[in-house]
Amino acid sequence: MISADEVTNAPEEGAPSSYTVTDLAEVPTLGGLYARGAAASVVKRPRAGVVLPAVAYRVADVDTADAAARLAAYQDVVGEPSSDVLPAGFLHVLAFPLATAVMVRKDFPLGLLGMVHLRNVARVLFPVRLGDRLEIRAWAENARAHRRGVRVDVVAEARVNGALAYRAVSTYLAKGYAVSGDAGPGTDGGVSRRRDAERPSWTPPLPTARWSLGRSVGPEYGAVSGDRNPIHLSALGAKAFGFPRAIAHGMYTAARALAEVGPARRGDAYEWTAEFHKPVLLPGSVDVAVRYASDAGADVAAGPAGGFVYDGWRTGRTTRHFTGTVTPL
């Protein structure tokens, strides 16, 4: 087993040196943050000149012992085996409210409503166990042009006894915005607008699992994650945002795929990536394939070698919902 004391070459990334660290007494709750974000989105109109706040939020002492019941519920919802080790998906759940707090600041230039989660890349550098006390940090950086708006990275880190245990970068798209030539700290303002490379044609592999997802999936994952966005909870809430019915949380599908790989195959330290293509409508059926990266060939050209690749697509169709990799470090 790997411990914090044994990790000597962990990437001490941290926020850009120009950022100010602001301490919060505790991790905020998502409900209040969403209310603030919804209200602020009304007045944050798309415009040129995106400047990200040069601020990182920190909560210095998060006692994971308080999350025992929540961890057990999370494991049940996504299919993780019972354990006192916190998987990367649960670490995302713990850090996500702090990241959201950054995105609902008055000086955060992008509206929270309508932001699309494109991709997630997380690294677990050693096991975080129930009862460990965490220092959690979050900030936004690297705004850059996208043909439909602006992409931005929201970074979350967790440390145990000062050692970096977890680092995740969530990439979001805010439609209708544009970066400027001088976009501020943590921002790549010199990226010109260009059409993203088209994704190659894709043929579903042989499935290794089939998920039958009922309407309850959204509320169940919302309860354990705190993410009670209306688009996941009911058809009525989803229709208000242009969806025909409720959609599954993207991080639910990624976390369930991580559970399909399983603790034994991913190891104590691993990298987990997820890319989101099309939403999963609820209820719905999703075919999933977990393969060795070496068997996936060109399908995983951008993925790390030596690990696993997973894909999820609509049963009976070629509509790809998500793809990702899990690689032992």
Rg (CA), the chain: 19
* Burial letters 107-136, b for 16+ CB under 10 A, else e: ebbbbbeebebbbbbbbbbbbbebebebbb
d(CA 219, CA 91): 20
Residues above pLDDT 70, as percent of the chain:
82
* Pairing between β-strand 270-276 and β-strand 163-175 as defined by DSSP bridges: unpaired
Q: What is the pLDDT of residues 12-70, one digit of tens each?
A: 478 899 999 999 999 998 877 867 766 666 566 666 678 899 999 999 999 999 999 99
Tokens of 211: 């998920």
Q: Which of 225, 244, 222 is CA-nearest to residue 233?
A: 222
Residues 6+ apart with CB under 8 A from 28: 97, 98, 100, 101
pLDDT category at 176 given cuts 50, 70, 90 is confident
Q: What is the pLDDT of residue 184?
A: 44
Average pLDDT over residues 215-244: 91
* Average model confidence (pLDDT) across the chain: 86
Q: Which of 202, 213, 291 is CA-nearest to residue 253?
A: 213
Q: What is the pLDDT of residues 84-120, one digit of tens each?
A: 999 999 999 999 999 999 999 999 999 887 789 999 9
